[in-house]
Structure 1
Amino acid sequence: MKDFCFPPQHRLKTPADYKKVFAKPVKSSDTYFTLLAIQNDLDHSRLGLAIAKKSIKKAVHRNIIKRTVRENFRIQENLGSIDIVVLARREAIGVPLALLRKSLEKHWLRLVTRCASYS
């Protein structure tokens, strides 16, 4: 059975990690999310979340979105070695979780192909 934990080595932790991604990212956007990504030198992908209080006011909504993104990231197996930062938009509030998951799956595929073509 697959281990569905989100270990520390799969997280972007330091401000320097986030700065690298924000400096020259490969982007993917839609109504609900903007995802930024870059290649990393590791053998696994890492995820960072930047869910702004300015765009999503209530902590409950921010936490639901963060949990959904983390869960969807964990079950992806073919991301390779990229660092990803997810930015949520105001429109993600109150949307059915199935729609958010479908949106994220589309973004993962897009980012993998775009990062591969930039290398």
Structure 2
Amino acid sequence: MALQSFGRELRLLTPVHFKRVFNQPIRVGTPQLTFLAVANELSHPRLGLAISKKSDKRAVARNRIKRHVRESFRLNQHLLPQVDIVVISKPGVSKLEDAELNRMIEKSWRRLQRRFAG
């Protein structure tokens, strides 16, 4: 069984890590979320979140989005290539129902897999 934790080694922690992803990313997007990814030299993917106040002023709404993205990443990390990923929110993402948000995130993971496989 694959390990399904979300420990410190699976997160982008420093501004240097984020800048590296922002420089030359491969983009996968939906109208409400953008996924930026860059290959890394590690044996696992890493996740960073950029959920801004522009997407929703309420912290509870931003935290809900973060929880969904982190949980989806945790469950799908063994399927993802060795990449550093930053998820950026856009206005309107907080208006999505949980099921629709989860479908959108899952679809973006699959698109990222295809982009890095070929």
- TM-superposed CA distance for 1:54, in Å, is 2.5
Match of 1:49 in 2: 49
- How many residues align? The count is 117
Report if aligned partners of 1:37, 1:115 keep a CA contact under 8 Å in 2.
no
SS state at 2:95 partner? coil
Question: 1:107 aligned to 2:108?
Answer: yes
Q: Give TM-score, length-normalised by structure 1.
A: 0.91
Structure 2 runs not aligned, ≥5 long: none
Does the 8 A contact of 2:4 with 2:75 survive in 1? yes
Whether the aligned pair in 2 keeps the contact of 1:28 and 1:34 (CA below 8 Å) is yes
Kindly provide the CA deviation profile for residues 11-68 of structure 1, in whole angstroms up to 9, marking residues without a partner as x.
0001000001000000011122011001000000000000011332110100000000
In structure 1, how many angstroms separate the alpha carbons of the residues matched to 2:25 and 2:13?
Answer: 17
In structure 1, runs of 5+ residues without a counterpart are none
What percentage of aligned pairs have identical amino acids?
44
Query: TM-score of the superposition, structure 2-length normalised?
Result: 0.92
Deviation (angstroms), 1:2:
6.1
For 2:54 and 2:104, how far apart are their aligned partners in 1?
A: 22
What is the 5 A alignment of 1:1-119? 4-76=4-76, 77-117=78-118
CA contact (8 A) 1:50 1:87 kept: yes
